[in-house]
Amino acid sequence: MSRLSLNDLFRIAVPGDPQVRPDGGAVAYTLTTAEKDADDNRSEVWLAEPGHEPRRLTGGPADLAPRWSPDGRTLAFVRPVDGKPQIHLLPMDGGEPRVLATDGAGPPVWSPDGRHLAFTAPYGEAQAHDPVVADTLEYKADGAGLLRDLRAHVVVVEVDTGAWRRLTEGDFHAGEPTWSPDGQSLAFVAAMEPDRDLVPGGAVYLVDLDGGQPKRLTEQGVTCTGVWWLGERLVVTGFTGEPVGHTRLFALEAGGLVEIETGLDRNVMVGAPGYPGAPPLLLGDELLFCARDGGLTHLFDLDGRARVGGELGVSGATAAAGRLAYVAAGPGSAGDVYLDGRRLTDHALPDVELFPLERRVFTAPDGTPVEGFLLRDPALKQPGPLLLDVHGGPHNAWAPVFDGVHLYHQVLAARGWSVLTLNPRGSDGYGEAFYTAAIGAWGLADAGDFLAALDDLVEEGVADPDRLAVTGYSYGGYMACWLSATTDRFRAAIPGGCVSDLTSMSGTSDAGHLLKTFECRGDLAAQSPLTHVAGVRAATLVLHGERDDRCPVGQAEQWFAALRERGVPARLVRYPGGSHLFILNGRPSHRLDYNERIVAWLEQWVIGSQS
């Protein structure tokens, strides 16, 4: 057995999007790997069934969103053709997949009778060289770039003939559609208000299969974020009031939306890159949903009982024929496919021995308990260097599962480091009061959580107070800047995808207005690390994607320039083409470089400086 190396990035396989066959006997899923020679991520569709080795169904390299036909005889999936995602149909009794839709497509949704597929597709006429004209703040989106007049709309295609028709049009983005039980209409979420870029909005709409004007089904009071027809009722996710609290479950009744009581003070998680979860689903007649509890995303019933829990973190789930399929990560694997609790795949690296994560609870200065996870070699008996790594969000959370993104954690542990991943107030999984505790108080309400944990680890003899470092990404990058500017605790700091100036961020980020208005309300200058940059003494490595529209690269440029002007040892690394999520799904060479640079910087400025 060997320890994890950074090059193991190219051996890690991550399953996702599990889709149980209608008879409940097998699970189709995607499997994503990183290809070194092509410097790209590869995604294929695979099939897992009890008693058989998993087998590949499609050859990739970018196959996504497998969806079973109601009779289970055909598998639809999305594959790019000439750069545009298209729906393909794979006959399960043999044969090659055929292209069904040719105008760009999102994940397909089968009609109950199997005669149609619905999906969203982008529409717009502006060319890449045309001037970008913006009348609202919705003119760009991280990962997509400048939107111009592109809008996502609902499309339906006939399976037999390939004939398709667009059901919606207008200046709005339609969310993923869901079929009515009779197959005669589709529901979707959209924000159609003129000022939706200033005031968060989202309502459920219904459009007939034959087209026509969508009918609004929900009124003010709940901002809807997703909708699914589960059995005979529409289940909706959304939030009440301002968009700063937990996402909740609702059912659309005759009198409007009625909240579905979950028995939990937890945030409903429907799944997104970096935010594990799954849409709500029916297992028989029972409604299940995902929520994060103490860092791990579990699958719950409406009595608040975890149907999939323990040390597993769920990142996708579906049900059919009374059987439950899901993908979950654990301490030794970035993800495996399960069917009714039986593991069908094994994606743990067989020849790699991982250091275990120790769950810890620290006490903040005001007495609030704060959970974290300590990674270190159990054989270490003396104080050593420690890296504090801060998660993003701020409403995300670290989980005690194998981390295939932050590989440097295990590599540093093998070199005698301790790595602390803490879930401070603002983190998800600890109740709504904790979730909202840092609203309007970034750097003020949360910084003490980190420092108190460090004090405890120093006092315990785990951490050497002269060999501390801090890193983090997004909000974590903000906190790496803030802590290095407002304390002298750290010898090195590595902000990634950082936020250094909330004032300029509010006018340049694709989410800047929402951040300013609802998350960081108040004195933006006082909460900005740039205001306090004169206090930085830590050697600082700034890592940033050049096409980051969530935390624009100017945030990194400002921080680097301010440090350089003050003579602080600093380096700026920009990753061409990298969006905000490049450390999750960007070029493998960039992800490897990101990990390598963190290790090298820490060894140079924390370890090397001690000799």
Query: Which amino acid belongs to residue 430?
Result: Y
State phi, psi for 527 to the nearest 5 degrees: -90, 0
- Domain shared by 201 and 93, yes or no: no
Same domain? For 206 and 224 the reply is yes
The strand ranges marked E within 164-274 are: 164-166, 178-179, 185-190, 203-208, 215-216, 222-230, 233-240, 248-253, 256-259
Which pLDDT score is estimated for 609?
60
Name the domain boundary from 333, 349, 365: 349
* Domain termination residue (choose one: 260, 294, 309): 260
Q: What is the mean pLDDT of residues 260-264?
A: 94
Residue 178 has pLDDT above 60, yes or no: yes
Q: Is residue 6 part of a domain?
A: no
Do 436 and 494 lie in a common domain?
yes
What average pLDDT score do residues 454-459 get? 98
Give yes or no: residues 433 and 578 share one domain: yes
Distance CA 439, CA 179 (A): 38
| pLDDT attached to residue 32 | 98
Domain-embedded: residue 121: yes
Residues 224 and 277 in one domain: no
pTM: 0.96
> What gap in Å lies between CA 385 and CA 82, rounded to an integer?
50
Structure tokens at 68: 């079973």
Q: What is residue 511's DSSP assignment?
A: T
pLDDT in tens, 497-529: 999 999 999 999 999 999 999 999 889 999 999
Residue type, 229: W
Question: DSSP labels for 295-344?
Answer: TEEEEEETTS-EEE-TT-EEEEEEEETTEEEEEEEETTEEEEEEETTEE-
Report pLDDT digits (tens) over 91-132. Answer: 999 889 999 977 789 999 999 999 999 999 999 888 888 898
Q: Is the pLDDT of residue 610 over 60?
A: no
282 and 252 fall within a common domain: no
Q: Which domain holds residue 72?
A: 11-107+271-349
In a domain, residue 32? The reply is yes
**What percent of the chain stands above pLDDT 90?**
89
Per-residue pLDDT, averaged over 134-138, amounts to 87
**CATH for 393:** 3.40.50.1820
Q: Are residues 345 and 469 in the same domain?
A: no
Domain final residue, candidates 297, 329, 349: 349
How far apart CA 197 and CA 520 sit, in angstroms, is: 17
345 and 459 part of one domain: no
Residue 1 lies in a domain: no
According to the model, what pLDDT value does residue 255 have?
Answer: 85
Q: Are 291 and 386 within one domain? A: no
Q: What is the mean pLDDT of residues 149-167?
A: 94
Average pLDDT over residues 7-21: 98
Q: Is residue 328 part of a domain?
A: yes
Lowest mean pLDDT among 10-14, 91-95, 363-367, 532-536: 91-95
CA distance 472 to 483: 11
Pairwise CA distance, residues 245 & 394, whole Å? 12
pLDDT tens-place string over residues 399-437? 999 999 999 999 999 999 999 999 999 999 999 999 999
Same domain? For 120 and 97 the reply is: no
pLDDT at residue 611 in the model: 39
Query: Would residue 162 count as lying in a domain?
Result: yes
Q: Which residue has the higher pLDDT, 90 or 125?
A: 90
* 393 within some domain: yes
Predicted local confidence at residue 270, as pLDDT = 97
For residues 426 and 575, membership in a common domain is answered with yes
Structural domain includes residue 581 = yes
pLDDT digits (tens, 9 = 90+) for 231-244: 999 999 999 988 88
pLDDT at 102: 73
Q: How many domains does the chain have?
A: 3
Mean confidence (pLDDT) of the chain: 95
What is the CATH classification number for the domain harbouring 235? 2.120.10.30
Largest CA distance in the chain: 75
**Residues 62 and 208 reside in one and the same domain:** no
pLDDT in tens, 319-346: 999 999 999 999 999 999 999 999 999 9
Question: How confident is the model over 310-319, as a mean pLDDT?
Answer: 97
